[in-house]
Amino acid sequence: MASRDSPEPSESASHRRERAAIAAQACQTCRNRKSKCDEQRPKCGLCRRLNVECSYREPMPTKKDKTMVHILDTLTRLENKFDNMSISNAANSSSGSDFVSGTHHSSSQSSGKRTHERETGSGHDLPTEIRQSYQHLTAPHKVILWPSIYLHLINSGIHAATDLQHILQEGTQWLIKQEMIKHPDPLPSDSGLPSYRMGAAEDGYSTRTAFPTLTIQLVQEYTDAYFNTFNVLYPMLNHDAFLNDTVARLMRDGYADGDAGAVLALMVFALGQCAKEGVFGKPISIIEGVPSGYRGGTVERPPGIEIFNEARRRLGFVMTLCSLENVQILLLQATYLEATGRHLDFWRSTVAASMACQVLVRCKPLDWATQEGDMIKRAYWACILSEDLYHLDLDLPQTGIHTLEDEVPLPYFQESQDQSTGGRGLDERSYFQYHFLAMIALRRLITRIHSTIHESSTTSPESSDDYGGPPVPVITEMARQLDSWRSLLPRQLQWNDSDMLDFPPLNPQNRRPNEPLFSPDQGPVPIGHVHNLDIVTAQLRTRFYYARFMMFRPFVYKALHFPELMTAEDANCCALAIQSACLWPLSMAPPKNKKRLVPHHFTWTQNFMGILLILRMTREEGVLKQICEGRVPDGDLEMTASLMLEWIRDVRQVDGIAEWSWGILEGLFVGR
């Protein structure tokens, strides 16, 4: 693997190999005519002069290109091994030793292949309805009804704790209702851009429109802002193709109803303005002297709303298409809605994108080696990553797009071979492409952690005598898989626990900065790292620690509810769970100061709530406190609680679930 190899003996030799890979990208026309190809996209100079189709064949994969494919192949082998092991483990376990306490038929796994729930505990000291309600809660929300935490909340005297009876009855659905109450109306539609008509209608389109305030300079500025932020995280669009094909045509011919390219461009411009003001704009509020991490606009009128409304007004004419552009438009709309804190609107848009993408993959003849095929692969995996998150954390239904993942290859990122792309170096572009592929690989592990540890279809035992403890062989194997994932990452993405807050080693020839990339506070001056480096890095590392925390969380449950059964190894695993929940990079600056750019921040809000409840229990006398005192620094616990509380206090301005959560957490932490 490229990430594990020793340095090449000659930098010039490495450079020649990379140049050879680029030079191999001559189009078919130039190859047939044995002419030198200038490799311009979408058409080279010769094909433009001849007015013929210009097609590039997919190059042979290089060593770097095979990196993530190797990772996924490795994970597939590990999964097969794990399946056999878990079946054997289940067969050898008696029903009396199952670590179970609640019948669980969550919609999280329609396949019905589930193992035992590990965290519900015994039911001898709780009402039956508490045990039964567990089946309606997602993994982050289950912590609320852990017996020790539930009783602690009931006895705390916090007014918001009276709502626990509703959670008992309805589960996660009651929490989703809080989000619906928070945003009963769509974003305001009474603002837009000044416009004028450019000519008569033609080609089945309405009269074309121009926006005088959307100047060429602003278009370039917003385009660059989008491609340097949102598109780095989820690379759905090709920078050069967007500018040369879509933008150039719109600036020349104008925007018309029924023109999917016009809607797509307006979505990009709206996101570009949101990205720019989301970093450097004025905070929407200042709470207890702390500026909000939501910058630009207001809660109801986010930055870019005028451009977004122009896109929304034209979306209806193209929204029922099942084309690549339609999938991209819906994903861009979802991205904007999430940046404004509209989580359910984000979900609806993502569902629409996933449904259209399924039709595209199932019904359209596709050549994955073409540029269009590569863009469809990117759109597909972007849908998968988004759908998994809202499903695991909010239990919102899946569309079934995940059933096609064995049929859709990983994206190849053809434009990375194009010399003219954005002026970035090959290593720099590879970093962000590897990040997207690494997230795909990690997503498979996280899905398996949820399906094998946090879901169940088995009835609960009635006393602590039936408690069998966490599934140690299963967790041990999954921990090995997770560590393998990290060790197999390309060198530019790798990190250790000791340097989790540092800059990634993008260029081995340059020394990394002395100051960390992430810290609790970086001052009042906004920080905009090139190509969204901070948020890209924070997302990957935080998802890793999230996975490790969820994996070892059953040992925290055991320490709270069955301390007499704890072994030394259990204590180590419990401590590792708490350590994995501490000092997540996404909760720190710079990401916390530009939340509009943080993808899927609803998922972090759900998990911060559960982690904070667990951290509160580390202050109570008992085995959990003793474990933490010997293994987890007090400063890490305090700083983590402070960062996550600050996050929820800020996010509650736009998030209904966070607003309810703050009513619980404020009483537990603030002033105590």
Mean pLDDT: which of 64-73, 374-383, 662-671 is highest?
A: 374-383
Residue 42 structure tokens: 């979408």
* Residue-wise pLDDT tens digits, 300-357: 999 999 999 999 999 999 999 999 999 999 999 999 999 999 999 999 999 999 999 9
What per-residue confidence (pLDDT) applies to 39? Answer: 80
Task: Outline which parts of the chain fall under CATH 4.10.240.10.
Answer: 18-57
> From CA 422, how far away is CA 205, in angstroms rounded?
32
Q: What is the DSSP string of 51-101?
A: T-----PPPPP-TTTTHHHHHHHHHHHHHHHHHHHHHHHHHTS-GGG----
Closest CA to 452 of 435, 472, 423, 480: 472
Q: How many CB atoms sit inside 10 A of residue 85's CB?
A: 14
CB atoms within 10 A of CB 92: 9
13 pLDDT more than 90: no
200 confidence band (pLDDT: 50, 70, 90): low
Q: How far apart are the C-alpha atoms of 3 and 48, rounded to whole Å?
A: 40
CA–CA distances in Å: residue 217 to residues 220, 260, 336, 408, 648? 5, 23, 22, 38, 37
State how far the Cα of 596 lies from the Cα of 340, in Å rounded to an integer: 7
Measured torsion, CA atoms of residues 303, 304, 310, 313, in degrees rounded to the nearest 10: -50
Residue for token pair 């064949």: 57
Q: Which of 155-164, 395-404, 449-458 has the lowest mean pLDDT?
A: 449-458
Query: Is the predicted pLDDT of residue 557 greater than 50, yes or no?
Result: yes
pLDDT in tens, 563-619: 999 999 999 999 999 999 999 999 999 999 999 999 998 889 999 999 999 999 999
H-helix or E-strand spanning residue 197: strand 196-197
Query: Where residue 252 falls among pLDDT bands split at 50, 70, 90?
Result: very high
CB 501 within 8 A of CB 585: yes
In 364-487, which residue ranges form alpha helices assigned H by DSSP? 371-394, 426-453, 472-487
pLDDT-derived band at 171 (thresholds 50, 70, 90) equals confident
Q: What is the pLDDT of residue 467?
A: 66
Q: Which of 5-19, 269-283, 580-594 has the lowest mean pLDDT?
A: 5-19
Higher pLDDT, 104 or 486: 486
**Encoded tokens for 662:** 């703050």
Please classify residue 530 by burial: count the beta carbons closer than 10 Å to its beta carbon, then call 0-12 exposed, 13-18 middle and 19+ buried: exposed
Query: Hey, which bits of 305-366 come out as E strands?
Result: none
Amino acid at 420: S
Nearest to 268 by CA among 328, 216, 344: 328
432 versus 342: the higher-pLDDT residue is 342
In whole numbers, what is the pLDDT of the chain averaged over residues? 83
Q: Count the Cβ atoms, other than its own, within 10 Å of residue 584.
A: 27
Q: How many angstroms separate the Cα of 668 from the Cα of each of 15, 161, 612, 639, 655?
A: 58, 11, 9, 16, 20
Lowest mean pLDDT of 30-44, 130-144, 159-173, 256-270, name the range: 130-144
What is the rounded radius of gyration, in angstroms, for the C-alpha atoms of the chain? 26
One-letter amino acid of 308: F
| Helix, strand, coil in percent for the chain, rounding step 5 | 60, 0, 40
Q: In a 3-state reduction of DSSP, which class is residue 22?
A: helix
Would you identify the CATH topology of the domain 18-57? CD2-Gal4 (4.10.240)
- Cis-peptide, bond into residue 42, ω within 30° of zero: yes
In this prediction, residue 62 carries a pLDDT of 54
Residue 73 CA to chain centroid, in angstroms? 22
pLDDT score of 452: 85
CA distances from 84 to 74, 143, 340, 362, 458 (A): 16, 30, 44, 31, 20
pLDDT at residue 370, rounded to an integer? 92
Over the stretch 123-151, which tens digit does the pLDDT of each residue have? 445 555 555 555 557 788 889 989 999 99
Distance from C-alpha of 587 to C-alpha of 205, rounded to nearest angstrom: 47
- Maximum average pLDDT range among 19-33, 72-86, 226-240: 226-240
How much of the chain, in percent, has pLDDT values that exceed 70? 78
